[in-house]
A and B are shown apart, each in its own frame.
Chain A
Amino acid sequence: MTTIQPTLVRAVPNEALHRALSDRKRPTRPSSWQVSLIFFWRALLKFKHVPMQIFDVTMFPIMMTVMFTYLFGGALAGSTSKYLYTLLPGILAQTVVFITMYTGVAVNTDVAKGIFDRFRSMPIWKPAPLVGALMGDTVRYTTAATVVTVLGLILGFRPDGGLFGVLAGLALLLFFAFSLSWIWTALSLVMQTPESVMMTSSMILFPLTFVSNILVDPETMPRGVRAFVNINPITHLVTAVRGLMHGNAETGDVLVVIAVALALNAIFAPLTMRLYNNKNAR
């Protein structure tokens, strides 16, 4: 047996080290819910430390809204406030839908760094890091949605549906965004780097959001493009959100959106969990 007489360097205070090591009592194991809340807290801390993230959910949407309103408003609808009537719910949806891809990037970063292994080797509910991150993202969506809505009201957006209509529209949008983010988490668990996750999700989101009814009326588009716009789930989402905000929603539109969201949850949530639990385990 070699000597285990500690010959401590002065830099590490010997006494403090021994005291710190004598804590062997294991506290009671927290519930799945509590653990998820701790990961939610972690996600919130990141907002504090990485102000760029706040920029993404505030400045970017503001830029988009102001830009499109004044660029196209006069030309397409005669006046900016008329254009905002249809544009705002659309740009709102586009903004929030775009932000969903950050979920995937965050999960992929965790996996690439060793911290994922630490969490997995701890006696905690396994999906908690993922659930906490998704909870943090809903804060992101809500922030962005609030910013765009308030900005719209300032610029002259007057929803016919009133407060209730706006809240209903936002609720539907947030639910859809949450459901959509499962796709990116699943993707992030099969892709190698955060950059490639970002690339892939942008490649999907750009056409989905631009080739839709967000910016212009599809009536003027060539037939092929119009066909895509009509089956694009984002189009249905925007139609439903517009309807709710202006108090003239068709039940059918809302139901389609809810059905798509439920389908996304049913397919991608279990897939993500499965990939997550098996990641690096083979």
Chain B
Amino acid sequence: MTKAEYAIEVMDLRKSYGDNEVLKGIHLRVERGQVFALLGPNGAGKTTAIRILATLLRFDSGTARVFGHDVVAEAELVRSRISLTGQFAAVDEELTGRENLIMIARLLGHSRPAARNRASELLAAFDLSDAADRQVKTFSGGMRRRLDIAASIVVTPDLIFLDEPTTGLDPRSRNQVWDIVRALVADGTTVLLTTQYLEEADQLADRIAVIDHGKIIAEGTSRELKASVGDGSLHIRLRDPKRRHEAERLLAQTLDVSVHLESDPTALSAQVSDAQAVGQTLIKLAHAGIEVSDFSLGQPSLDEVFLALTGQPLEDESIAAKEHVA
């Protein structure tokens, strides 16, 4: 095995569908053993990038290497190191969960008994034993997704692509998927995942690249990215709307940030870089006799990250449709 430095190395990758430039020169480097998140809205080019890296899609120019192997010239070698879990569960709905896993195991070269054992082991590990012999079309979204990931690790790959692994899942299923991802990484698999949720990238990823309109507009650790946005967003609602301007002044002073007045006349919000200061602000409001009816300090949303990085709120639908067709 050649010792390549990076699990993924992408240089100036470009791809167009007709006049529509989907990837406008992407650069990426993912170290072995990392979880790397591509964060962006629908139609930003995330799925296109993953499909290229998984040897499924041709591109116009640039280079893409996986463990040092060119994804075009050495596609077979790349395929033997990777697994892909696409946006739509890639399992056969008419077969049972067990039959799906046995099929994949047999395709990868397991003998019949070995394939059967491996299927049982995976079904147990993914909490699917009870449903194992039901047709997949009766599965819930979360179960389908788990089966899909199980199918991707019948032979534990060195690199796994997870395209929006938790989109559309309920919180419990989402947590289960996150745990699986963490276990994969702990076992040495490199993970490239795409997501629309900053929280997900934050929870799982060592590094995050923010992608928008086919370009990477920021890259770094979760901490670095958030530093550019602020630690979180503070939302406050007052009992008395007449005192909003007073509250605004006070917030601006204590937190040293610009305060946004929401359309709700009782509400105001701010991006804060220092969560500690929030406590003091609330105390000051109380001292000034301004009553707060509720407040929250949360992760900045993807919207807010985009606003901070691009100076523009995100708009996505235009290219999104195109990407799905392709």
Contact = CB atoms under 8 A, between A and B. Distances in A.
Interface stretch (B3-11, B90-98, B265-273, B305-313): B90-98
24 contacts: A2-B204, A2-B221, A6-B183, A7-B179, A9-B175, A9-B179, A12-B126, A12-B127, A12-B180, A18-B186, A21-B153, A21-B189, A23-B118, A27-B155, A29-B109, A41-B106, A42-B92, A50-B94, A113-B90, A121-B55, A121-B84, A280-B57, A280-B326, A281-B58
A122 B106 CA distance: 12
B156 A42 contact: no
Contact of B89 (A11, A18, A28, A114): A114
B76 interface: yes
A223 interface: no
Nearest to B108: A27
Query: Closest 6 CB pairs between A and B?
Result: A27-B109, A114-B90, A20-B125, A118-B90, A16-B125, A114-B88
Contacts of B55: 120-121
Contacts of A280: 56-57, 326
B172 interface: yes
Contacts of B122: 20
B209 interface: no
Nearest to A5: B182
A11 B125 CA distance: 10
A122 B94 CA distance: 21
B155 A24 contact: yes
Interface string A9-47: 101111011111111111111100001001001100110
A42 B95 contact: yes
Interface string B212-227: 0000000001100000
B58 A24 contact: no
A16 B187 CA distance: 13
A115 B155 contact: no
Nearest to B58: A281
A15 to B, nearest CB: 9
A45 B95 contact: yes
A20 B186 CA distance: 13
Interface residues of A, number: 50
Interface in B220-276: 221-222
Contacts, number: 161
Contacts of B86: 114, 117-118
B176 A12 contact: yes
B194 interface: no
A49 B95 contact: yes
A16 B161 CA distance: 22
A230 B63 CA distance: 57
A30 B105 CA distance: 11
B107 interface: yes
A25 B118 CA distance: 12
A23 B127 contact: no
B288 interface: no
Interface string A186-230: 000000000000000000000000000000000000000000000
A120 B56 contact: yes
Nearest to A42: B103
A45 B102 CA distance: 12
B304 interface: no
Contacts of A6: 179, 182-183, 186
B323 interface: no
Contacts of B79: 121-123
A1 interface: yes
Interface string B268-296: 00000000000000000000000000000
Given A38-B103, A121-B56, A13 B204 contact: no
A2 B107 contact: no
Contacts of A25: 155
Nearest to B15: A282
B80 interface: yes
Given A2-B205, A4-B185, A12-B125, A117 B90 contact: yes
A120 B96 CA distance: 21
Contacts of A271: none
Given A4-B186, A9-B176, A11-B127, 17 more contacts: A2-B205, A6-B179, A7-B179, A7-B182, A8-B179, A9-B175, A17-B179, A20-B126, A20-B153, A21-B183, A21-B184, A21-B187, A27-B111, A46-B94, A114-B88, A118-B90, A124-B107
